[in-house]
Every structure is written in C-alpha cells, then in structure tokens.
Structure 1
Amino acid sequence: MAPTLIFDCDGVLADTERFGHLPAFNETFAEVGLPVRWSEEEYAERVKIGGGKERMASLLTPELVAAAHLPTDAEAQRTMIADWHKRKTAHYTARVGAGIMPPRPGIARITEEAAAAGWGLAVASTSAEVSVRAVLEHAVGAARAADFAVFAGDIVPRKKPAPDIYLHALHELGLDPADAVVVEDSENGLRASLDAGLATVVTVSSYTAEEDFDGAALVVTCLGDDVEPARVLADPLGLGVGDRVRLSDLSTILDRTRKAPR
C-alpha cells in the first residue's frame, strides 16, 4: 500500500492557536457576556486541554458560575457550552476566510511532493470539522484539499493525548501504522500518534516550543520554504535534514522505523 502523510491541523497547517482560536474564544466570551478574556499567557495553559468545548468547560468553576449567573445543572451547562462553541467556530472560520492565518512554511510544498509521488493525504484533528476543512483549504488550496481524507470533530470518545483519532484514521483508511507518517506540533499530539504506533515529525508552534518531544523521529521549527527555512531541533535518526524537510526525509523515516524493533 502507498504510504500516507497525516497532518494534525492546529499549529501544523497554520498557526491557528495564536491568530485564530484565542481571539475567537475571546470574541465569543464578549458576545455572550462572560467576564473572561484569556491572555496569551493564560491561553498557553488552556491550550494543553484537548478540545475547544473542553477548554470552555474548564471555565465553569463554582465561583464563575455564581458570578456570571450561569446554569448549575450539568445538562444545561453542556447545552450552553455547545452554543458557545458553535459561536466560537463561526468567529474562527471568519478569521480563516479573511486570510489572517497564513499557512505554515512548507505545508503546500510537501503536500504537492506527496501527491506527485502517489502518497495518500489526510488530516486527523479533534477540532470542529468545519474549522479543519477551512484551514486545510486555505493552506493547500481547495482543489488539493479535495484529495485529503479528513477525520475531525467529535468522532472519537477521547481527545489527544489519547490515540483515538489516529486509531480511527488508520482503521478508516485501512492502513498499517508502518505505512503512515504524522506531522504534529504538540506534546499531546505526539503522545497520541506514538501511542497509535505512528512515526511522527514535530514542527513546533508558538505555544509548544518548550514541550517534551521525546520519541519524535524529527523535531524542526517548520517544514521550510523559500521565505522561512527549517531549523532542526532534534534529529535522533541522523537524517541530516537541510533547510527543508522533503518527502525523501519522510520516506527515510518510514524505512528506518519499520526496521526498528517494536
């Protein structure tokens, strides 16, 4: 079977957390009259919680619920969070459509390299599907985005760092883990992909540069392009990557991890 390149979305296809999700959360809080505004420093902690609904739910301390006159019933809170998240997704997709979040360096390039070589293409993210598809189309173009299998939203019971979304993608694609390489940006994402048995390249993003990426096949600042070259942060396989991560590097990663004892 042809190998497959699987991208995470947020922080991998674009720097969506800083320029998309954070302002969209704050716009939503203002819209619903919630006395909350996340700073970049606070959001750096919230982003460690997998899933937008889960990040919003983390606000519901007894103190805030009382101060903001929010419902105390669990079902009513779930309904409220779902409404907030729908509003937040609308704000977020509007920012994507406005071109506020440029694709990360090298994403379009390596996608074209993979497509030309007959590799499969996929995105695996537990962010809302409409958000993921919007970012994907902006990053690689609508025509190429149509070639991707997209696994997103609440289609698995557990968010990253649980491996569920990657296990689901492997099952749906009929893939052996040895035939896929993942591009992630966070420790949570790396833990999820490794627990699914997948070789993983990490491209650090604005909120993840100091996280623990032990177990990654390669850690770089980005995939690299003419404007922003890649800088290697960890190369445990001795790939000798230059200023761009190329498809040949990903093929070597697959070859070497297939030979490694499991």
Structure 2
Amino acid sequence: MTALIFDCDGVLGDTERDGHLPAFNATFAQFGLPVRWSVEDYGRLLRIGGGKERLATVLDDPEVWRAAGSPATAAERAEVVATWHKAKTKTFTELVAAGVIPPRPGVRRVITDALREGWTVAVASTSAEPSVRAVLAGAVGDEVAATIPVFAGDVVLRKKPDPAVYQLTVDQLALDPAGTVVIEDSRNGLLAALGAGLATVVTVSGYTRDEDFTEAALVLTSLGDPDGERLEVLADPWGVRPVDALGLSELSRLAGRPAHDTQGGQT
C-alpha cells in the first residue's frame, strides 16, 4: 500500500499569515484583549505547535490576564483559552469560506491523482479539526474532502514536533510506514514525521523557507503544476530530480526507503 499524509497549514494552503494571524487578532479584539500579534510576532509563535498553546502564552501578560477575568487556576485558564480558540476557529473558517486562502500549487492535482490510483490520502495537523476540514475542502472540493480522513487538534496530547499525530494516523489507518510519504512545510512537522519513521517531502511556506530541513528526502518551493507555477528544487539528497511538478512516480520512489536514508539516490 502507498499512502500520502499531508500537513494542513502551509501545505494545503499558505494559511498562517493570511488566515490564522488575522483570525487570532480578530479574536483578541472580540474579547477586548490588549494584544495584537505582528507578522514577526506570529512567525516566532509558530515554533509552538497548536493554536491553543499559542493563545495560552498571552495569559502571561498581566494586562491580558486581568482583561480575561484573572483566571486563577489551570482549569480556569484552560477554559478561557478554549473559549478564545473556539471563536478564533469560527473566524478562520469564515475566512477560508470567503476564498482568501487559495490552495497551494499541485495540491489538488496530487491528491486527485493519488486517490484515483488507489493510494490512501490523509491529513495530520495540530490545528483545530474544523479549520483543517475547511482548508481541505477549499483545496480539493467538498466531495473529495469528505473521503479523506483527518487527524487534527486535540486528537493527541503532544503536538508537533512530537510524532504522536503521525503515529496515530499510521496506526488508525493501518499504514505501512515504509510505503508512506508525508508532505510538510516546517521543521517541527519534519521532526514529527521522522519521529514516526516516515519519509518526508517539504514544500516550504512563507514562514518556513529559512528553516533547517537537512533530514528531508526532498525540499521544494511547492508541489508545482505543469500548467501553472513550476516547482523549484531547494534540496534533493535522495536524487528524486523532479522537473516542473512533483508527481506520483517521484513520490513512489520515496516509498520503501528508511526515513533517515539521506544518502539514498546520490551519485
């Protein structure tokens, strides 16, 4: 069996700057919180896996803590964060529905081709499940999206770079790790996939282009489209040598190798 597991944010769509960041800031305004994240602030916060986990950091500011009703216990803080996050997720899904976040090049093509050939396709993300499903539907359409299993949000306790969400996906879908390839965009995601023993292709996004992807099987600017944006190869340690667009033939060559085989394919 051959399987593809996609991350969501930065992979299905370049969602962080144009979707999640404005949704977070709209939530802060909605609840009267004296905080707004800049593009640079949010770039630093992306090192923290999970939207709730990022939101929790603002409670360390005494002004925000007081504006939030001075939650005194861990349970009260968690309840406040959950309320904020629910509102943020609603705002984000509305932005996706409005079409402000187009799918990244090649995503629809690769997913459609993989499903047609009988491959298993899944999505594994630290974002809230409604947000992930909205982005997925925007990328491939409602009908196709409904057939794709999604593992997201609090389905695991430990977020990326911990491999838990990828291990769960492999276990729940009874996948062969040797026949499974992950598409990621960040170092945290890469480490999570490698921790689960999965070969990983990185398609860098706006916030992650300068991160360290040394252990990836292939690093690209995007999956590419033959009639649209062509991919640029940034690193190809396994000697895949894609041209213009990454297809199933190249992805098949990545399956069956150890995830850490960074020398494979070199001549």
With structure 2 as the length reference, what TM-score do the two structures score? 0.93
Partner residue in 2 for 1:117: 117
Deviations 1:38-89 (A, max 9, x none): 0001100011110000000011115334553532332211111000000000
Partner residue in 2 for 1:169: 169
Partner residue in 2 for 1:54: 53
Query: Are 1:202 and 2:202 an aligned pair?
Result: yes
Query: Are 1:234 and 2:208 an aligned pair?
Result: no
* Separation in structure 2 between the aligned mates of residue 155 and residue 147 of structure 1, nearest angstrom: 19
CA separation of 1:108/1:160 partners in 2, compared to 1, >3 Å: closer, same or farther?
same
1:134 corresponds to which letter in structure 2? A
Note the C-alpha offset of 1:146: 2.0
CA separation of 1:80/1:227 partners in 2, compared to 1, >3 Å: closer, same or farther?
same
2:122 corresponds to which letter in structure 1? A
Partner residue in 2 for 1:29: 28
Does the aligned pair in 1 maintain the 2:25–2:36 contact within 8 Å? Answer: yes
User: Any idea what SS the aligned residue of 1:60 has?
Assistant: helix
2:208 corresponds to which letter in structure 1? T
User: Any idea what SS the aligned residue of 1:112 has?
Assistant: helix
Deviations 1:84-115 (A, max 9, x none): 00000000000010010000000001112111
Does the aligned pair in 2 maintain the 1:65–1:71 contact within 8 Å? Answer: no
Deviations 1:139-188 (A, max 9, x none): 01111112211111201110000000000001101112112100000000
CA RMSD between the two structures = 1.6
Query: Are 1:82 and 2:82 an aligned pair?
Result: yes
Partner residue in 1 for 2:136: 136
2:19 corresponds to which letter in structure 1? G
Deviations 1:215-259 (A, max 9, x none): 110000000012211000000011111111111110011144489
Q: What's the % identity of the aligned pairs?
A: 57
User: Any idea what SS the aligned residue of 1:200 has?
Assistant: strand
Q: Which runs of 5+ in 2 are unaligned?
A: 263-267
User: Any idea what SS the aligned residue of 1:59 has?
Assistant: helix
User: Any idea what SS the aligned residue of 1:182 has?
Assistant: strand
Comparing 249-258 and 174-183, the one that deviates more: 249-258
Q: Which runs of 5+ in 1 are unaligned?
A: none
Does the aligned pair in 1 maintain the 2:194–2:259 contact within 8 Å? Answer: no
* Separation in structure 2 between the aligned mates of residue 132 and residue 6 of structure 1, nearest angstrom: 13
1:40 corresponds to which letter in structure 2? V
User: Any idea what SS the aligned residue of 1:18 has?
Assistant: helix
User: Any idea what SS the aligned residue of 2:28 has?
Assistant: helix
* Separation in structure 1 between the aligned mates of residue 75 and residue 64 of structure 2, nearest angstrom: 14
Deviations 1:175-224 (A, max 9, x none): 12112100000000000000000000000001100111111100000000
Q: How many residues are matched?
A: 260
User: Any idea what SS the aligned residue of 1:211 has?
Assistant: coil
Does the aligned pair in 2 maintain the 1:3–1:119 contact within 8 Å? Answer: yes
With structure 1 as the length reference, what TM-score do the two structures score? 0.95
1:242 corresponds to which letter in structure 2? V
Partner residue in 2 for 1:40: 39
2:63 corresponds to which letter in structure 1? L
CA separation of 1:227/1:96 partners in 2, compared to 1, >3 Å: closer, same or farther?
same
1:201 corresponds to which letter in structure 2? V
